[in-house]
Structure 1
């Protein structure tokens, strides 16, 4: 999820550092950028994630630490005598002290240890962030307790329920947090503490219905509690999640609320295939009301609504929905619902809006296949399309601008870029049904994959020349331009496309040698002439 680029600033006159760092395989998600400087430089030190002092410095290490990033590793290299001479403040400012002289093996070892520490710190921070974010994103009460029953960590929902801040709750026990006296707890119908003991004894997740006295009065919770084990397999505490079901009359209402709050369109059908419930998102996506679908056979409904569906690469159904001017691409997946005895009782049909994902994928594909400047297809797409077309005939028009370099020289590259865009637009106008690609610089290829004769190709080339010249002559900047076109075509299925491109290029060269602003058709005689002359 993250990429970490470590800036390593090494202040040393020793040449051992770079060679050893470059031999170290970077840890996952990490890149190393070492720089060795022969003298200490405060500005460079400020930029470092790892700062190594291996030269005499005027500044104290404590001052250097204040220069560095907050979490930077500051490492002092020196002899045992130099290390002993450091003040307590300087020593405490260092992340580590490396005793010199350092062998290549020690340099490599020390760096690997530092890299591992940084990765551990980074991973620990991310794990901490994931946990806090996830906990505070959950509307249910979440808490962690140690083996003695002290609350170690709680979420915002928990704090809101007890009317206390997180700092006031963490480290405290049940009675204080819930503002209840032991005698009141003993006389009431509370089982919170007993259920903790049951979980610890069972050593597995248990579910309870618990009554709790909160700031909002008595509340009923559906509570899920699980034991926590340390690395040796010993119990060290519990984690609990409590869902407030006070206002839920029964599990059907609870399910209804969950379905309504889901960000996906959801349909539920039973073991007989009858639709039993839908949520608001489903109503919105499919423009239906519960009264119109509840009780309907799911398979019949699916056939009626998913006529234009397709199966994506993951095997899930996708359908394009249009309603109220909004077009959505929805991915539909089905998950079985089983009861406590693992018996099938129905299915949950989840309809997820993947419009943004598919649009992004299309943009990526478009970006990979098109020329950024002109919007035409690029060389990569040209080869992919032609090599997979299996056409009875392939014809090429190789278009090249005459004197284009002068445009850039006289008027600048912006005018040159605008000219290339204009040329792309003209080619699109002249050849709307053909594959048009910019293959580099001021060179374009137009490919046709249907049968056509030489006369038709010449007519198309002449049309291009005519339209181009109209535009060029109308512009003061472009009057020096013209276009030359090389034509080649083949009905030989064994001919490689590169050979056909070479033939069209040869015809283009002949057109240019003949005075430019014209087209030329490739012939065997033209090839023989070139072979005699030499290119």
Structure 2
């Protein structure tokens, strides 16, 4: 994944020690490049020129230790080889990464440099692991957090910060109620704070899944699907927990939207044919009154004024149906065909009154349309028993509607057994 080319300055070392260091194999993904000098005066240090500077006191000549480290640069690792480490001041010790003993024999030089090379390898591998970890958790849309045994947050991801509206530095070391913006009283009541599930995970000593509600000052009540697991120390004791939470509040909202899209007409937003049958299924054994509406001469509106105006007529017709039949179930069955269904304790007179109200409202609304007056043919079918299959009831309403159109349109016809004879005559 990564490649590291270490540029190493060896200053003032004996030829044998320098050779021993150069013979140490580079670690995987590392390579070494060496520069040798007996004094810094022969090869002056320039900031950023070397990654590692290993030098003796003799190589410094009149240069001070702080000046050598400053010249090497902030990122350079400085190693002093000395026989008098006790003479180094405390503030100078802080400038050094390591101190090696002098005289530096071949064996000691090889040992110390091999150990130092492994240290750099371990540091780079730790950096890589942290980069993997941080990239993984911060690109996840789910909330991720790490807690100690008493519930203080040790680390969280970006999604968690966004959910609670806080920076990571304001979260680390803090408990649940502060982070989520709860009052002390809300926290002490134990509602919506997830304490019990954290304790359950540590007690069980294994990963567990929960459905939880979390109260947030920022976003209100959130529904979470959480996965929690204990974190074990090297000796096997539990030192905390890690949690991952999917905010299914949005998921449920999306589900509702998707369901609404599949059950509603995109133009009028009325329930569609599919929703109509679902509704009937929920009221299958109740008495029913079914009213079918058809816009008279709708094709002429489209042909004369265009489909945009035709859509305006459909929208006006839909809103009028909703206004007139607030207690019924109104649906667009397709094209310019609409249904109003009344389940339960309704009388024929109530349905008739609703139709009269609809006709009156439609007449008023027509005044604002480019098409002028919009009329409707209407067919009614009744099922006082609740046992007539809905398709049969729909067929009766459709027959009544056909009769209304045959009688000159803009009228209401109720289905009856005698209507069959009239329709049979019309079809001859």
TM-score (norm 1): 0.47
Aligned counterpart, 1:193:
117
Pairing 1:522–2:415 present:
yes
Aligned counterpart, 1:510:
403
1:288 maps to which of 180, 183, 201 = 183
Verify the 8 A CA contact 2:292 2:401 in the aligned structure 1: yes
Aligned counterpart, 1:389:
283
Aligned counterpart, 2:305:
411
Q: How does 1:55-454 map to 2 (within 5 A)?
A: 148-150=27-29, 179-180=76-77, 187=99, 193-194=117-118, 224=126, 240-241=129-130, 256-259=153-156, 262-263=160-161, 277-278=175-176, 281-283=179-181, 287-289=182-184, 293=187, 296=188, 298=190, 316-317=210-211, 319=213, 327=220, 329-333=222-226, 335-340=228-233, 353-454=247-348
Q: Rate the CA distance shift 1:420–1:258 in 2: closer, same or farther, 3 A.
A: same
Output one character per residue of 1:180-222: Cα deviation in whole Å (capped at 9) or x when no partner. 367677636996633688xxxxxxxxxx7x6xxxxxxxxxx9x
Gap runs ≥5 in structure 1: 1-130, 132-142, 153-162, 198-207, 211-220, 226-238, 245-250, 267-275, 304-314
In the aligned structure 2, how far is the partner of 1:240 from the partner of 1:476? 68
Aligned counterpart, 2:39:
none
In the aligned structure 2, how far is the partner of 1:381 from the partner of 1:426? 20
Output one character per residue of 1:403-435: Cα deviation in whole Å (capped at 9) or x when no partner. 222222222222111111111111111112322
Q: Rate the CA distance shift 1:252–1:422 in 2: closer, same or farther, 3 A.
A: same
Aligned counterpart, 1:82:
none
Instruction: Report the 3-state secondary structure (helix = DSSP H, G, I; strand = E; otherwise coil) of the residue aligned with 1:330.
Output: strand
TM-superposed CA distance for 1:457, in Å, is 1.9
Q: Rate the CA distance shift 1:151–1:490 in 2: closer, same or farther, 3 A.
A: farther
Q: How does 1:476-495 map to 2 (within 5 A)?
A: 477-495=370-388
TM-superposed CA distance for 1:440, in Å, is 1.5
In the aligned structure 2, how far is the partner of 1:398 from the partner of 1:174? 91
TM-score (norm 2): 0.58
Larger radius of gyration: 2
Output one character per residue of 1:102-127: Cα deviation in whole Å (capped at 9) or x when no partner. xxxxxxxxxxxxxxxxxxxxxxxxxx
- Count of residue correspondences: 311
Q: Rate the CA distance shift 1:387–1:253 in 2: closer, same or farther, 3 A.
A: closer
What's the Cα RMSD here?
4.7
Q: How does 1:443-482 map to 2 (within 5 A)?
A: 443-472=337-366, 474-475=367-368, 477-482=370-375
In the aligned structure 2, how far is the partner of 1:362 from the partner of 1:377? 14
Q: For CA contacts below 8 A with separation 6 or more, give which structure has more relative contact order.
A: 2
Verify the 8 A CA contact 1:400 1:483 in the aligned structure 2: yes
In the aligned structure 2, how far is the partner of 1:332 from the partner of 1:187? 53
TM-superposed CA distance for 1:344, in Å, is 6.2
Q: Rate the CA distance shift 1:393–1:182 in 2: closer, same or farther, 3 A.
A: same
TM-superposed CA distance for 1:506, in Å, is 0.6
TM-superposed CA distance for 1:398, in Å, is 0.4
In the aligned structure 2, how far is the partner of 1:527 from the partner of 1:358? 49
Aligned counterpart, 2:392:
499
Verify the 8 A CA contact 1:330 1:354 in the aligned structure 2: yes
